[in-house]
Structures are given as structure tokens and as C-alpha cells.
Amino acid sequence: MLSLNAVNTFYGKSHVLFDVSLEVRRGEIVALLGRNGVGKSTTLGTIMGLVPAHSGSIRFGETEILGRKPHQNAMAGLGFVPEERWIFPNLSVHQNLLMGIKPGYFKKTAGSGWTIERAYDSFPQLAERKDQLGGILSGGEKQMLTIVRTLLGNPELILIDEPTEGLAPIIVDRVNALIADINRQGLTVLLVEQNLQTCLRLAHRIYILSKGAVKWTGTPKDLEERKDIRKQYLEI
Ligand SMILES: Nc1ncnc2c1ncn2[C@@H]1O[C@H](COP(=O)(O)OP(=O)(O)OP(=O)(O)O)[C@@H](O)[C@H]1O
Ligand SMILES: [Mg+2]
């Protein structure tokens, strides 16, 4: 569904991604793991078109998308949940959710058929808080709101950047359950995570980044057997 081939990205003169190649197949949860500052968010930003790639290829389905603008990628079926949990603090939860719905005159992507009614049915916590301002939600509720708002755009592939960062353990479990759930309902996921246990539990396949390059890839089971790899690239 998505494949990156030898992608290089710079911020000004600083070379950040080095020949990154990776693949996400339809129906998978693929996790991108690595320490702070190795280029995980830059990889998602480059896919989305928020950070321009210098060279390489990014194919989404049959289409080359490298060089496209973020809104073009969104309309083509890419959903993006950034690390910073962008919500509108002065809009209600309901209004925040409405912002996720793409205008009707755009092509409806295959997506997974999310509507606002289905969102409230599936996530009753949001229904209960429907008229409250986004700004007063807890961190976990904001994260849920951001993810569900993105679902309402009916993406075919969702890119999620460190969704559980800074959340209490019980909320972490809930957000992870949400991700597993939307995947079971048919959505393909590329997930950036720093938590190894979460990746081992949620992901079908894992890529490890270090210093802007892919250093290892395999299944959670493979990684459980590779203490050397975990020690070299993940432990602090
Ligand atoms: N807008 C920017 N301008 C210049 N350099 C940047 C910018 N954003 C990130 N960088 C640098 O690019 C490198 C990769 O950053 P990136 O945010 O992609 O890492 P990350 O793996 O997502 O880290 P974290 O786990 O802390 O979120 C880092 O050295 C970072 O300092
Ligand atoms: Mg990041």
C-alpha cells in the first residue's frame, strides 16, 4: 500500500533521512521504532508531504506521491495524527470532530466508512463530552479526539506519531486498544512508537531507525529474540 525507496530528507543543509526504504502492506500495523531524534517524525512528515524529500520514491498504491502537498495526500487517503495532538481548544468536541470530515465534493476514498454517529457509538467517552471545549480534555481524551477526527476523513492508511507519549499507563492501554481496534476494522496503520512493549504487542512488523537510517526490520517475534539489536538501537 505504501512503499518508500531510498528516501533522503534534509532540513536546510542538515541531512536527516538517509536512503530510508520501508513498506506497509494493506491491513498491517507497522511500527517505526527508535531513540529520540533518529528521524521517526521526519519520516512521517516526509510521507505526508509536510517535509519535502530531496530524493527517492514514495508510492501510495500505484501513485508516486513524493513532491505532493499534504492536502493532496490527505485527499488521496492518507491520514496523519501528529505528535503534538493538534486540536482546536476553543471549539467543542463535536465541532473538532466535524473538522475531520472532508468536504463532500471530493472523491470518497475506499476508507472504512466512518461517520460521526459511528464515532460516538464506538467512543462513548467522546459522546459524553460532545459539548465541552476541546481545550479542557485530558491528554488521553485529546489523543482520542485527534485520532477519531482523523478517522472521520476516512483514510486508507493512518500515520500516528507517538500517540501514548506522556499519558498515564491506564490511558496508554486505552489508546493502544483503540489503535488495535481500528486496525481490526480494516484500517492500515504506520505507527511511531518509543515503547518497545507496545510495538511488540500491536505491530505486525517493525522497522528500527537509527541516525536517520533503517537498521533492522522484522516481526515482533524476531525482535524478541534479538537482544543485541534491542541493546544497540533501543536501550538508553
Ligand atoms: N524543523 C526542523 N528543523 C531542523 N531540524 C529538525 C527539524 N525537525 C527535526 N529536526 C532534526 O532532525 C532530526 C530528526 O528529528 P525527528 O523529529 O524526526 O526525530 P524523532 O525520531 O521523531 O524524535 P523524537 O523521538 O524525539 O520525537 C533531529 O536531529 C532533529 O533535531
Ligand atoms: Mg518525533
Residue 40 has pLDDT above 70, yes or no: yes
**Taking the model in full, what pTM does it have?**
0.93
Give nearest CA residue, ligand 1 atom 10.
Answer: 11
CB atoms within 10 A of CB 72: 12
Q: Atom 26 of ligand 1 has which residue's CA nearest to it?
A: 36
d(CA 110, CA 24): 17
Average pLDDT rounded to a whole number, residues 106-112: 51
Centre of ligand 1 to C-alpha 52, Å, is 14
Domain boundaries, the chain: 2-233
> Residue 35's pLDDT is what?
94
205 lines ligand 1 (CB under 6 A): no
157-161/2-11 β-pairing? unpaired
pLDDT tens digit string along 111-132? 567 888 888 988 888 999 999 9
CATH match of 2-233 with 3.40.50.720:
no
Q: Closest Cα to residue 53, out of 81, 80, 19?
A: 19
Ligand 1 atom closest to the CA of 43, numbered from 1: 18
pLDDT in tens, 60-95: 999 999 999 999 999 899 999 998 878 999 999 999
Going by pLDDT thresholds of 50, 70 and 90, the confidence category of residue 1 is very high
What's the pLDDT at 104? 59
Does any ligand 1 atom lie closer than 6 A to the CB of residue 36?
yes
Instruction: Return the pLDDT at 112.
Output: 66
Cell reading at 38: 533518529
Q: What is the mean pLDDT of residues 172-200?
A: 90
